[in-house]
């Protein structure tokens, strides 16, 4: 949520900052702003709306300074407006701040500062930070910044300009990501790597309560006691082209088409015809052999992948699996034991509720395994063991390739654990491993086969206000993800239900023409799902079924059929995810929605 950029070097800062913010648009925002310091004054330009609104004002109202900071804001305190946009400054404009996160005690601080003579212009929590720095400043900005954050309750990553040290940018983080990119006679600051991936592949990743002073030729990083520390430089192996659309109209469509390669990367050296190799996790064999309970904790799409993991592990391992939404898990009286495994799932590795759940589980002594797409993220650093998703850079807010890699990661780990616990025969393991290896090629086939079909189906959905998704077993978890994709980017109300639950209330909503997607990839329970489909058809529902090629008689029962290739019954859901993504994409496209940046949503949710 929100985006921070900073630049200090020998080039004009404003265009570099603007370009960096463009690269962070996927994080979600409703306003933007840039501040540039030329050594004499700090110019601030900020606008409500998209970055295009800011661009014209930048050329007219910013100096040619080579030091600056920028921000895209997602409103938390105060409505979207020019005044509430970042950057914010103190009374004399000596200190200018951009901020990601939430200051929980800002009202108390604001009241005190107003009583002592400070004048406030905005409704935001962030503005108190600039005034507090002004109040604490005594010819040492680093100490003033440290004194300031000592008074703050909440989460923050802060980037500060000052007229007193015009050639430097000061930064600090707590519970909100911040990185420093290293260049040649220039350095960069950002909330995420894509902002400056075209400029550098070497970054320092700040940890909680670390502060830094950044100039064009030097980066000084301090711990919470203001002692200078040395940090390891993190080299990113992403290609800058990953941050571009490469001819696709939207990032989401590009990322849907990248899924076969993403799955190949995930499985490389981990899945072989002879089985599963996850020695990289360094999980103790005795611990795995005796494991009796697993908690899976995540948010949104990642939570849906965890639900598939639950079904898989219960089916293969016959042990207790608990799946929770992280924002609920962290406040429950969860019965965690020291010999439990907690799997946390997060694409960014910075999801606030998931990170808090990780920390809570650690206090109870549980082992933590993270599925994440970001090697240097907070979750990756704090987990005991990490399974990197290797999905590559994902820009669109609506996750596709990261979700699919999360699902496949659960398949890989489930088979690995089944082998460790002697719950699967070698012949069965080898067959399933070979089917996993086939998945990327089959995914390519499904994308090709279903693209035009889902364009046609979207023409019907675009006219509707409601839609339903149904399935049983793992198909129900896919239904949840399909409904989420449709509503988050097309704004059509969509709900998912276990197919067997329809008769317990939901059938009251089925009438002539209501669109329903029915998933039927689990053969052992397909006949039951078919019975539920006939109940919908009897009430006039318009049913699209996603089933294996060769499903007998299905065309006589439903209105439309999307076929997926035959594969072991366990893996059908991976293939069925593709038509669901394409249905959502094409429906949103026909409605003219902002597909990559849907309203009110952000890619990385770093506030509670």
Residue 440's SS3 state is helix
Q: Please, is 201 exposed, middle or buried when counting C-beta atoms within 10 Å of its C-beta (0-12, 13-18, 19+)? A: middle
Residue from 2, 89, 299, 593 carrying the catalytic annotation: 2
Residues 255, 401: Cα–Cα separation, whole Å? 6
Residues ≥6 apart with Cβ < 8 Å to 335: none
**What residues are paired with 344 via a beta bridge?**
297, 370
Residue 213's SS3 state is strand
Question: What residue has token string 């600051």?
Answer: 189
CB 473 within 8 A of CB 528: no
Residues 460, 194: Cα–Cα separation, whole Å? 37
Sheet of 560-564: strands edge to edge?
493-498, 466-471, 515-520, 542-548, 560-564
Structure tokens at 117: 């003579």
Residues 122, 34: Cα–Cα separation, whole Å? 16
Residues 208, 10: Cα–Cα separation, whole Å? 30
Q: Please state, as a whole number, how many other Cβ atoms lie within 10 Å of the Cβ of residue 331.
A: 12
DSSP assignment string, 118-161: -----S-STHHHHHHHHHH-SS-HHHHHHHHHHT--EEEEEEEE
Structure tokens at 524: 């052992």
Could you tell me whether strands 228-229 and 31-37 are parallel, antiparallel, or unpaired per DSSP bridges?
Answer: unpaired
CA neighbor of 436 nearest in space, from 476, 405, 480: 405
CA neighbor of 585 nearest in space, from 262, 249, 300, 303: 249
CB 336 within 8 A of CB 293: no
Residue from 47, 174, 420, 603 carrying the catalytic annotation: 603
Annotated catalytic residue 603:
yes
- Distance of CA 266 to CAs 257, 439, 524, 539, Å? 16, 12, 29, 44
CB 45 within 8 A of CB 30: no
Helices 426-461 and 259-267: angle between axes, nearest 10 degrees: 160
Per-position b or e across 50-66, b if 16+ CB within 10 A of its CB: bbeebbeebeeebbebb
CB 97 within 8 A of CB 126: yes
- Distance of CA 509 to CAs 466, 516, 541, Å? 10, 11, 10
Q: Please, is 337 exposed, middle or buried when counting C-beta atoms within 10 Å of its C-beta (0-12, 13-18, 19+)? A: exposed
CB 535 within 8 A of CB 502: yes
Annotated catalytic residue 89:
no
Which residues are marked as active site?
A: 2, 603
């Amino acid at each position: 949520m929100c985006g921070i950029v900073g630049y200090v070097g020998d080039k004009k800062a404003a265009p570099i900052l603007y370009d960096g913010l463009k690269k962070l648009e996927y994080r979600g925002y409703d306003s933007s702003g840039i501040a540039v310091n030329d050594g004499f004054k700090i110019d601030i330009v900020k606008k409500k709306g998209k970055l295009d609104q800011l661009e014209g004002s930048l050329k007219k109202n910013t100096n040619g300074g080579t030091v600056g900071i920028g921000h895209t804001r997602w409103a938390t305190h105060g409505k979207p407006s020019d005044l509430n946009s970042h950057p914010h400054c103190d009374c004399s404009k000596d200190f200018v701040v951009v901020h990601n996160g939430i200051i929980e005690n800002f009202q108390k601080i604001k009241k005190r500062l107003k009583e002592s003579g400070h004048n406030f212009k905005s409704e935001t929590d962030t503005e108190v930070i600039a005034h507090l720095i002004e109040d604490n400043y005594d010819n040492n900005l680093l100490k003033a910044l440290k004194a300031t954050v000592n008074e703050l309750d909440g989460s923050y990553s802060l980037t500060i300009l000052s007229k007193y040290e015009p050639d430097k940018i000061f930064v600090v983080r707590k519970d909100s990501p911040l990185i420093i990119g290293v260049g040649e006679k220039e350095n960069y600051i950002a909330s995420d790597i894509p902002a400056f991936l075209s400029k550098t592949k070497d970054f320092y990743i700040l940890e909680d309560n670390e502060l830094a002073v950044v100039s064009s030729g030097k980066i000084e990083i301090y711990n919470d006691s203001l002692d200078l520390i040395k940090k390891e430089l993190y080299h990113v192996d992403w290609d800058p082209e990953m941050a571009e659309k490469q001819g696709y109209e939207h990032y989401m469509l590009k990322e849907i088409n990248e899924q076969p390669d993403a799955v190949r990367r995930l499985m490389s050296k981990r899945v072989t015809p002879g089985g599963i190799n996850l020695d990289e996790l360094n999980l103790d064999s005795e611990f795995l052999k005796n494991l009796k309970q697993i908690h899976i904790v995540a948010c949104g799409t990642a939570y849906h992948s965890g639900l598939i993991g639950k079904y898989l592990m219960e089916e293969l391992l016959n042990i207790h699996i608990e799946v929770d939404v992280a924002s609920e898990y962290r406040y429950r009286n969860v019965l965690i034991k020291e010999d439990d495994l907690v799997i946390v799932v997060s694409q960014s590795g910075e999801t606030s509720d998931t990170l808090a759940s990780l920390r809570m589980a650690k206090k109870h002594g549980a082992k933590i395994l993270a599925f994440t797409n970001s090697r240097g993220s907070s979750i990756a650093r704090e987990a005991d063991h990490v399974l990197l998703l290797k999905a590559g850079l994902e820009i669109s807010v609506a996750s596709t390739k990261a979700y699919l890699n999360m699902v496949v990661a659960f398949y890989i780990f489930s088979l690995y654990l089944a082998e460790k616990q002697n719950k699967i025969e070698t012949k069965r393991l080898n067959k399933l491993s070979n089917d996993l290896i086939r998945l990327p090629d089959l995914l390519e086939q499904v994308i090709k086969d279903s693209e035009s079909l889902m364009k046609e189906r979207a023409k019907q959905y675009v006219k509707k206000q409601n839609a339903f998704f149904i399935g049983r077993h793992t198909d129900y978890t896919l239904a949840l993800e399909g409904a989420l994709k449709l509503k988050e980017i097309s704004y059509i109300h969509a709900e998912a239900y276990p197919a067997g639950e329809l008769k317990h209330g939901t059938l009251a909503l089925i009438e002539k023409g209501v669109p329903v997607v029915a998933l039927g990839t689990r053969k052992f329970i397909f006949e039951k799902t078919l019975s539920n489909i006939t109940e919908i058809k009897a009430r006039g529902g318009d049913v699209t079924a996603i089933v294996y090629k060769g499903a007998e008689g299905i065309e006589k029962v439903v209105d439309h059929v999307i076929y997926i290739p035959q594969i072991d019954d366990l893996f059908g859901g991976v293939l069925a995810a593709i038509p669901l993504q394409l249905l959502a994409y094409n429906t949103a496209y026909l409605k003219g929605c902002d597909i990559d940046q849907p309203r009110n949503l952000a890619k990385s949710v770093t506030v509670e």
